[in-house]
Amino acid sequence: MPGIDQSEADFIAVIELHAQEHAAKESARIPAAFEGIQVNFCKTPDCVNFGVPEDDDGVKWSRDPAKTRRYAKVSAGKDYPHLRCNACKASFPLKSNEGIAQEVARLAGEAKADICCPDESCSNHGFPVGLGKPLYSSFGKTAIGSPRWKCMACSKTFSAPKTATHRQRQSHKNKLIFTLLVNQMAMRRICEVAEIGPKALYDKIDFIHRQCQAFAASREAMLPNLPIRRLYLGVDRQDYAVNWTQRDDRRNVVLSSATTVDNETGYCFGMHVNFDPSLDPTAVEQDAHDSLDYRLSPPFRKHAREWMESDYRASVARSAKLVPGGTVAC
Ligand SMILES: [Zn+2]
Ligand SMILES: [Zn+2]
């Protein structure tokens, strides 16, 4: 283009790309599949449409049921689109496949805290050394005595710290602090009982968290090889009201969590909280603004899984309406 330099041309190209993506999302009936995930289908187990997503070949209505669309798009409120199954008449909210894929990646990342082959392109990467042979073999020790392993897939050798507590001065208090934490003792009381300061307590909580993840990862990596014919899982969810996080913003934060256990043994697969500490709220808001996310209804957004500033404002407006004449402090 004449009259503009390269950086301006790049900027315009990015804007045009966003606009194209936005137009495609805006015209779609249901959110597009993302990395093989498509959850917008009928959930009634004995319905012919169970597990079958919409294909856009169908017409709105036809005498021939095979040509009729499987689902009708209905609304359950502003920005709350539903699909209604034309076979069983059950309706369900549309969900963002992209948001689900992002959450799957986040939760899968948590489960890979254990030591494994460091080469990301290796087939053993993600499988902990605790599995032993035939994936890894013990390969002596490093000069400072840390154990070393050899990966049997790519032949690389790697080591780990001798013990997880090698830099801790009060490692004998870990067990006591873990016990007090899981028995729900208040943080200040734990500091008094264990005779440590708040900084040491928070460091120990991070350490215990890492150890628990590594423990769960090493056990669950064995799951694919266990002779399980069919796994029956029980799922429950719970909300936690957490105190305000900043002195100038005293809103209580409610975190939701889902817990999944094996029905037969009671083994807990984890309690997953809807909190992602890796995100920067300002950067997310800016990206949502740049990619015109706000103009779409939530299931079609790039940032569908995040609680945005506009969601918060809408929620405050809804609560204010529920209390006659009431205002909401924030
Ligand atoms: Zn159905
Ligand atoms: Zn390897």
Q: Residue 12: which residues within 8 A CB-CB, separation 6 or more?
A: 1, 4
- How far, in Å, are 106, 122, 128, 140 from residue 214 at the CA level? 16, 20, 9, 22
Helices (H), the chain: 6-27, 97-110, 174-182, 187-194, 198-220, 281-290, 309-322
The tally of domains found in the chain comes to 2
Whether 285 contacts 309, CB under 8 Å:
yes
pLDDT band (50, 70, 90) for residue 291: confident
Distance between start and end Cα atoms, the chain: 49
Distance 300 CA to ligand 1 centre (A): 22
Please give the residue range of the domain that contains residue 79: 6-96
Distance 138 CA to ligand 2 centre (A): 13
Computed over every residue of the chain, the mean pLDDT equals 81
Q: Is 10 in the same domain as 91?
A: yes
Distance 149 CA to ligand 2 centre (A): 10
Let me know if residue 132 belongs to a domain: no
Domain C-terminal end among 64, 96, 128: 96
Average pLDDT on 6-17 reads 77
Give the model confidence (pLDDT) of 233-249 as tens digits.
Answer: 999 999 988 877 667 76
Let me know if residue 26 belongs to a domain: yes
Let me know if residue 129 belongs to a domain: no
Determine phi and psi for 71, rounding to 5 degrees. Answer: -130, 150
Domain C-terminal end among 45, 72, 96: 96
Let me know if residue 289 belongs to a domain: no
What residues are paired with 73 via a beta bridge?
A: 83
Let me know if residue 76 belongs to a domain: yes
Q: Which of 16-20, 26-30, 57-61, 282-286 has the lowest mean pLDDT?
A: 57-61
Predicted confidence (pLDDT) at residue 163 exceeds the cutoff of 70: no
Distance 126 CA to ligand 2 centre (A): 10
Which ligand is closest to the CA of 156, given by its number? Answer: 2
Distance 48 CA to ligand 1 centre (A): 6
Let me know if residue 188 belongs to a domain: yes
Distance 207 CA to ligand 2 centre (A): 27
* Residue at 186: amino acid letter: A
Average pLDDT on 10-19 reads 75
Question: Cβ of 263: how many Cβ atoms within 10 Å?
Answer: 10
Query: Directed axis angle between helix 187-194 and helix 174-182, to 10°?
Result: 150
Q: Residue 19: which residues within 8 A CB-CB, separation 6 or more?
A: 292
Which ligand is closest to the CA of 84, given by its number? Answer: 1
Which ligand is closest to the CA of 121, given by its number? Answer: 2
Predicted confidence (pLDDT) at residue 121 exceeds the cutoff of 70: yes
Q: Residue 115: which residues within 8 A CB-CB, separation 6 or more?
A: 128, 129, 149, 158, 160, 214
pLDDT band (50, 70, 90) for residue 252: confident
What is the reported pTM? 0.63
Which ligand is closest to the CA of 124, given by its number? Answer: 2
Let me know if residue 73 belongs to a domain: yes
Let me know if residue 43 belongs to a domain: yes
Which ligand is closest to the CA of 91, given by its number? Answer: 1
Predicted confidence (pLDDT) at residue 204 exceeds the cutoff of 80: yes
d(CA 301, CA 288): 8
What residues are paired with 272 via a beta bridge?
A: 258
Domain C-terminal end among 96, 114, 138: 96
What does the DSSP 8-state code read for residue 50?
Answer: B
Predicted confidence (pLDDT) at residue 299 exceeds the cutoff of 80: yes
Which ligand is closest to the CA of 116, given by its number? Answer: 2
Determine phi and psi for 136, rounding to 5 degrees. Answer: -135, 155
| Angle 259-265-270 from CA coordinates, rounded to 5° | 25
